[in-house]
Amino acid sequence: MRNLTTRLVILLMLALMIITGIYDYVRLGRERERLVEQTREDERIFAETLALAVSRNVRWGRTTAELKELLDDILARPGLVAVAIYAPDGQVVAETVSPGAAAPTLDDIVRDALASKEAVSALVSAESGRLLRYVQPFRWPGRQTGAIEVRQTLAGMEREFRRAVRENVLSRLVVLALFVLSVVALTRWSIARPIRALMAGAQAVGRGDLAQRIEVARRDEIGQLAEEFNRMATNLQMAHDELLHQAEERLRLEQEVHQAQKLVAVGMLAAEVAHEIGTPLNIISGRAEVLERVVPREHPERRHLDVILKQTERISGIIRALLDYTRPRRPSLRAEAIVPIVGRVADLLLERSRRRGVRLELDLPIGLPRVLADPDQLQQLFLNLLLNALDASPPGERVRVTTGPDPLLPAEGRAGIIRGKVEGPCLPIHVVDAGKGLTAEELDHVFEPFFSTKGRGQGTGLGLPIVEEIARAHRGEVEMLSIPGRGTEVIVRLPLAGSGPPDPGGRTRDSAAEAGAHGD
């Protein structure tokens, strides 16, 4: 059976019906016996009184006709079906019988009464129903004994009894119906409702909503069940969170191992390249410098020499970047103010930003907390970020360096990637540009060594991997957010230098850099 309430109601009803059924059966049986007994008693009193009257009349020598008249009057009494007077020899002297009833004759019951001179009563079955017979002996003239018999039908009583049974059954049914209704209402309210709440909770948890709790403010078993359920859900949630945390930790470790492997591979390659290319490159640039000195400035082929010198410089730049990337980075960390570091980088890029027509804006407030930093490495980090931002920005735009807890780029249409992991309080530095931005797929690759969208000979694809390396070495993290066509934001989060004094650098709006933006 699907429904608990229905099942409970049916079981209760069955139990109730059996109990009240047995009780009523016994009670009504007794009642019936009592009624018969009462009728018997009534009949006895009546028969005794009648016997006295008849005995007197017989002694006075009344004729049979007169006796019969007497009996006819008596028969008017309700329930009587026959009255008869027997002489000592058992002959019926006078009788009166209601229509349809059998006429009294001498039989064992009468003989018994005459012989014993004691009243005899008997319950006999007749066609018209049960009959109660009562034979009362009385004194007959001449020291003899006659008898009078009264027959009473029990049909009326039976009818009455059947009506009582009917009423009884009916009232029982009404009580039962009321009972069922109240049980249904009660179970709905006190069992079905909280159980439904339990079920809803269990289903929600089954669907994975581990934050689900059941509110049952009761102290009974259902309340305890709800409490246990809630405890279980809490444990599940804790276990779930723990697993999630472990998985994240594993992923972080894997990423670190991956990064280290990349470093080793690129490092071997870089050493090889530096060794193989470095020497011939030095020879080429040496010879070119010699030629530069000897070839006159006006010489028509002099421009080839300039190209050679520029390109050899590029090649050594690439080799430097490779070696730089793979150089083991063990920073000497100390409490440092961030503003002077970023300021130095801005100074370095002054000329470049002016040429590109991009305004470089430093928007860092007074009193920034100090971070744990290796200034040289952080300088490298911000240099790489600002170079990328400048490269991506069209003329007339600006590149901002600022701080704050939340990204400046709106969340809509924004993709992101994060490297490293910072724990505890940190200082976030944002580098924001309004350049061409990056797609989510591109973002997935930007931290891979040699990934570059810049034209051939333009980018090494090592700028961001170095940024990641330095951020990790500072136990910090770097997050890159971008909306294609709208701009890019890189947030570097660096752990604070404990409870050191705040950064004395103050607000630095790099006027030189700003001036540069208006330059061309």
| CB closer to Mg ion out of 55 and 388 | 388
Q: Which range binds ligand ADP by CB under 6 A, 14-22, 62-70, 274-282, 448-456?
A: 448-456
**Binding flag, residue 461, ligand ADP (CB under 6 A):** yes
**Binding flag, residue 452, ligand ADP (CB under 6 A):** yes
Among 435, 476, 495, 505, binds ligand ADP (CB under 6 A): 435
Binding at 161: pick from Mg ion, ligand ADP, none (beta carbon under 5-8 Å per type): none
Angle at which helix 193-206 crosses helix 221-294, to 10 degrees, equals 20
Torsional sign, CA 304, 307, 309, 311 = negative
Q: Which residues contact 95 (CB under 8 A, 6 or more apart)?
A: 68, 71, 82, 83, 84, 85, 103, 104
Q: Which range binds ligand ADP by CB under 6 A, 131-139, 145-153, 235-243, 456-464?
A: 456-464
Rounded Cα distance between 520 and 482, Å, is: 28
Residue 10 corresponds to which tokens in the numbers above? 């049916």
| CB closer to ligand ADP out of 435 and 516 | 435
3-state secondary structure of 397: coil
Nearest distance from residue 274's CB to ligand ADP, in Å? 18
Phi then psi for 482, rounded to 5 degrees? -155, 145
Q: Which range binds ligand ADP by CB under 6 A, 51-59, 205-213, 277-285, 445-453?
A: 445-453
Q: Which range binds ligand ADP by CB under 6 A, 155-163, 197-205, 215-223, 461-469?
A: 461-469
- Say if residues 423 and 382 touch (Cβ distance below 8 Å): no
- Could you tell me which of 474, 161, 136, 188 has the C-alpha nearest to residue 331? 474
Among 50, 94, 216, 438, binds ligand ADP (CB under 6 A): 438
The one-letter code for the residue type at 73 is D
The one-letter code for the residue type at 401 is V
- Could you tell me which of 241, 251, 247, 250 has the C-alpha nearest to residue 418? 251
| CB closer to Mg ion out of 463 and 495 | 463
User: Footprint of Mg ion on this chain (CB under 5 A)?
Assistant: 388, 463
Binding at 476: pick from ligand ADP, Mg ion, none (beta carbon under 5-8 Å per type): none
3-state secondary structure of 510: coil
The one-letter code for the residue type at 145 is T
**Binding flag, residue 492, ligand ADP (CB under 6 A):** no
- Could you tell me which of 182, 222, 177, 180 has the C-alpha nearest to residue 198? 222
Count of alpha carbons within 13 angstroms of residue 160, beta-carbon side: 11
Nearest distance from residue 469's CB to ligand ADP, in Å? 11
Rounded Cα distance between 516 and 520, Å, is: 8
| CB closer to ligand ADP out of 114 and 492 | 492
- Could you tell me which of 371, 384, 385, 387 has the C-alpha nearest to residue 502? 371
Q: Which range binds ligand ADP by CB under 6 A, 57-65, 204-212, 244-252, 436-444?
A: 436-444
Rounded Cα distance between 472 and 26, Å, is: 92
3-state secondary structure of 498: coil
3-state secondary structure of 448: coil
**Binding flag, residue 259, ligand ADP (CB under 6 A):** no
Nearest distance from residue 227's CB to ligand ADP, in Å? 55
Among 460, 477, 492, 510, binds ligand ADP (CB under 6 A): 460
- Could you tell me which of 63, 254, 39, 71 has the C-alpha nearest to residue 149? 71
- Could you tell me which of 449, 450, 448, 408 has the C-alpha nearest to residue 428? 408
Nearest distance from residue 462's CB to Mg ion, in Å? 8
What is the 8-class DSSP label of residue 393?
A: P
**Binding flag, residue 446, ligand ADP (CB under 6 A):** yes
Among 70, 392, 434, 497, binds ligand ADP (CB under 6 A): 392
Q: Which of residues 368-387 bind ligand ADP (CB under 6 A)?
A: 384
As beta bridge partners, residue 136 has 148
- Could you tell me which of 106, 105, 81, 84 has the C-alpha nearest to residue 93? 84
Nearest distance from residue 443's CB to ligand ADP, in Å? 8
| CB closer to ligand ADP out of 39 and 379 | 379
CA 300 to chain centre: 84
| CB closer to Mg ion out of 107 and 324 | 324
Among 368, 388, 495, 513, binds ligand ADP (CB under 6 A): 388
Residue nearest Mg ion, Cβ-based: 463
Nearest distance from residue 385's CB to ligand ADP, in Å? 7
**Binding flag, residue 137, ligand ADP (CB under 6 A):** no
**Binding flag, residue 488, ligand ADP (CB under 6 A):** yes
Phi then psi for 173, rounded to 5 degrees? -60, -40
Residue 463 corresponds to which tokens in the numbers above? 């700028």
Rounded Cα distance between 289 and 295, Å, is: 10
Binding at 454: pick from ligand ADP, Mg ion, none (beta carbon under 5-8 Å per type): ligand ADP
**Binding flag, residue 451, ligand ADP (CB under 6 A):** yes
Binding at 136: pick from ligand ADP, Mg ion, none (beta carbon under 5-8 Å per type): none
**Binding flag, residue 433, ligand ADP (CB under 6 A):** yes
> What is the size of the binding site for ligand ADP (CB under 6 A)?
21
The angle at the Cα of 326, spanning 325 to 332, to the nearest 5 degrees, equals: 80
| CB closer to Mg ion out of 449 and 463 | 463
Residue nearest ligand ADP, Cβ-based: 463
Q: Which range binds ligand ADP by CB under 6 A, 17-25, 46-54, 408-416, 434-442?
A: 434-442
Contact residues for ligand ADP, defined by CB under 6 A = 384, 388-389, 392, 433, 435-438, 446, 451-454, 459-464, 488
